[in-house]
């Protein structure tokens, strides 16, 4: 057992010595690589010092190896009880920020900061029928000149960066077949011949023949749309011919008021068309305002009086019909519902009294023609007694009309009478 333990211990010590040797070798290699890296970095920093006249970042000493190295703004992180540099190289974003903030170059004795422009969306062409090859060529030239400051040969060498799908496949086939264009003009000719298909040409021709200025389209908006089609369909025409097309396709109301010939300059036509559009806009605005005022304005006096007279007649007929039926009336001559109900009850009871009075008078007249005075006196007493009973019945059933209700009824009656007199005076 002791021999076996001794052999295991010896094997363990040998493996430990082997592992320690590998570790020491790796440490020496890492220190050598770090030394070479720091030497190269210091050499680059010395070159930058000679160019800019000042050191961008100071040197520091690595306490582990005793050699100088470039410091960074990262905070050291403690791992396994040892503090060491975790990131000797800044990220791409930090490099861009340091270039913007620190790279200063003298120009005529004055230091100027070089600021990188922000990234913008590069134009792309996929080779579809819905894409415009002419607009792509214009956009890619503007992008190359403004963002990268490329000239035409440089743009020709890097044009594949802006091509996608079938367009990129077409360009790769040109390179494989050794037919790659040598100038930008040759490339544009091949590009237009490849991607300006007959289907697209026929569609653009149809759009060109149907192109007219819309009713709510300004002259500037129409000119942009017309020029885009004109560039595609008529690439060899001049500006004078574009002016002729503009006269033929603008609205007729503009042509009749511009007062210029077709040989006028482009700017003069635009200025005159804008003036005419302003005049037409003011005219249409006045027409819309007049139509709106006519719509919301009240009717004339004649129609107003006729309407009012008809309403009065309708109210009177409705009041008479509802009074006969004993229903509450809804006319504008009696606005209060309580007054209307009391007036209906009063008129109904008055009609009952009138009927009974007429009946009594008929009986009384008939009695006058009789010969018996005694019989006539008895009938007179019975009639008087009957009338007294009817009056007491009316007093018990119908509540008395209040003073304010009588006043409101009188006022409404007076208003109706005044309206009738006014209508009679005006001849209605």
The top-scoring range by mean pLDDT among 136-145, 233-242, 319-328 is 136-145
> pLDDT by residue (tens digit) across 370-394?
445 565 566 566 666 766 776 676 5
pLDDT level of residue 221 (50, 70, 90 thresholds): confident
The token pair at 409 is: 């009824």
**Rounded CA separation 361/370 (Å):** 15
Do 204 and 153 fall within a single domain? no
Is the torsion defined by CA of 329, 334, 340, 343 positive or negative? negative
Do 217 and 177 fall within a single domain? no
**Is residue 346 situated within a structural domain?**
yes
Do 257 and 327 fall within a single domain? no
Cα angle value 72/57/87 (rounded, 5°): 15
Q: What is the 3-state secondary structure (H, E, C) of the chain?
A: CHHHHHHHHHHHHHHHHHHHHHHHHHHHHHHHHHHHHHHHHHHHHHHHHHHHCCCCCCEEECCCCCCEEECCCCCCEEECCEEECCCCCCCHHHHHHHHHHHCEEEECCEEEECCCCCCCCCCCECCCCCCCHHHHHHHHHHHHHHHHCCCHHHHHHCHHHHECHHHHHHHHHHHHCCCCCCCHHHHHHHHHHHHCCHHHHHHHHHHHHHCCCCCCCCHHHHHHHHHHHHHHHCCCCCHHHHHHHHHHHCCHHHHHHHCCCCCCCHHHHHHHHHHHHHHHHHHHHHHHHHHHHHHHCCCCHHHHHHHHHHHHHHHHHHHHHHHHHCCCCCCCCCCCHHHHHHHHHHHHHHHHHHHHHHHHHHHHHHHHCCCCHHHHHHHHHHHHHHHHHHHHHHHHHCCCCCHHHHHHHHHHHHHHHHHHHHHHHHCC
Which of 294, 318, 345 terminates a domain? The answer is 294
Do 281 and 319 fall within a single domain? no
- pLDDT of 418 > 60? The answer is yes
**Is residue 5 situated within a structural domain?**
no
**Is residue 13 situated within a structural domain?**
no
The CATH number of whichever domain residue 224 belongs to comes to: 1.10.1200
Mean pLDDT of 123-148: 84
On whether the CB atoms of residues 415 and 312 are closer than 8 A, the answer is no
Do 357 and 275 fall within a single domain? no
- pLDDT of 401 > 70? The answer is no
**Is residue 1 situated within a structural domain?**
no
Do 406 and 326 fall within a single domain? yes
Do 415 and 318 fall within a single domain? yes
pLDDT, the chain, mean: 68
User: What is the domain count for the chain?
Assistant: 4
Do 306 and 347 fall within a single domain? yes
Do 308 and 422 fall within a single domain? yes
**Is residue 219 situated within a structural domain?**
yes
Do 269 and 335 fall within a single domain? no
pTM for the structure as a whole: 0.37
The token pair at 410 is: 């009188």
% of the chain with per-residue pLDDT over 90? 0
**Is residue 78 situated within a structural domain?**
no
> pLDDT by residue (tens digit) across 28-72?
888 889 888 888 888 888 888 888 765 444 444 444 444 444 444
Mean pLDDT of 84-100: 47
Range of the domain at 227: 200-294
**Is residue 58 situated within a structural domain?**
yes
Do 243 and 190 fall within a single domain? no
Which of 73, 107, 141 terminates a domain? The answer is 73
Select from 343, 314, 349 the least CA-distant residue to 331: 314
More confident residue, 50 or 264: 50
**Is residue 100 situated within a structural domain?**
no
Do 261 and 355 fall within a single domain? no
Which of 178, 196, 214 terminates a domain? The answer is 196
pLDDT level of residue 5 (50, 70, 90 thresholds): confident
């Amino acid at each position: 057992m002791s021999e076996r333990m001794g052999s295991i211990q010896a094997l363990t010590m040998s493996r430990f010595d082997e592992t320690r040797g590998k570790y020491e070798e790796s440490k020496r290699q890492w220190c050598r690589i770090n030394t070479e890296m720091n030497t190269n970095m210091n050499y680059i920093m010395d070159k930058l010092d000679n160019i800019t006249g000042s050191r961008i970042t100071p040197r520091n000493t690595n306490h582990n190896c005793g050699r100088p190295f470039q410091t960074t703004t990262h905070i050291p992180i403690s791992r396994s009880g040892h503090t060491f540099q975790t990131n000797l190289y800044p990220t791409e974003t930090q490099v861009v920020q340091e270039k913007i903030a620190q790279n200063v170059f003298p120009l005529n004795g004055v230091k100027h900061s070089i600021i990188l422009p922000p990234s913008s969306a590069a134009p792309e062409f996929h080779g579809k029928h819905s894409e415009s090859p002419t607009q792509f060529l214009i956009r890619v030239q503007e992008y190359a000149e403004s963002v990268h400051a490329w000239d035409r040969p440089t743009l020709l060498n890097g044009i594949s960066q802006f091509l996608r799908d079938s367009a990129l496949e077409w360009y790769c086939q040109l390179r494989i077949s050794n037919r790659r264009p040598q100038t930008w003009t040759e490339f544009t000719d091949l590009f237009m011949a490849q991607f300006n298909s007959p289907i697209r040409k026929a569609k653009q021709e149809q759009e060109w023949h149907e192109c007219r200025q819309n009713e709510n389209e300004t002259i500037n908006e129409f000119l942009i749309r017309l020029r885009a089609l004109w560039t595609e369909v008529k690439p060899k025409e001049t500006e004078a011919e574009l002016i002729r097309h503009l006269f033929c396709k603008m609205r007729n109301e503009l042509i009749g008021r511009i007062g210029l010939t077709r040989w006028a300059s482009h700017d003069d036509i635009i200025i005159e068309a804008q003036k005419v559009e302003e005049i037409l806009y003011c005219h249409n605005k006045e027409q819309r305002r007049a139509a709106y005022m006519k719509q919301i304005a009240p009717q004339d006096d004649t129609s107003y009086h006729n309407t009012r007279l008809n309403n009065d007649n309708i109210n009177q007929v409705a009041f008479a019909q509802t009074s006969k039926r004993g229903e509450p009336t809804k006319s504008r001559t009696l606005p209060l519902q309580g007054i209307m109900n009391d007036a209906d009850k009063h008129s109904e009871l008055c009609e009952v009294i009138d009927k009974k009075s007429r009946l009594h008078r008929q009986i009384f007249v008939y009695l006058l023609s009789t010969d018996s005075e005694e019989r006539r006196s008895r009938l007179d007493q019975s009639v008087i007694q009957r009338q007294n009973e009817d009056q007491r019945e009316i007093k018990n059933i119908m509540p008395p009309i209040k003073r304010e209700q009588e006043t409101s009824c009188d006022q409404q009656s007076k208003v109706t009478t005044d309206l009738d007199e006014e209508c009679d005076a005006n001849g209605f």
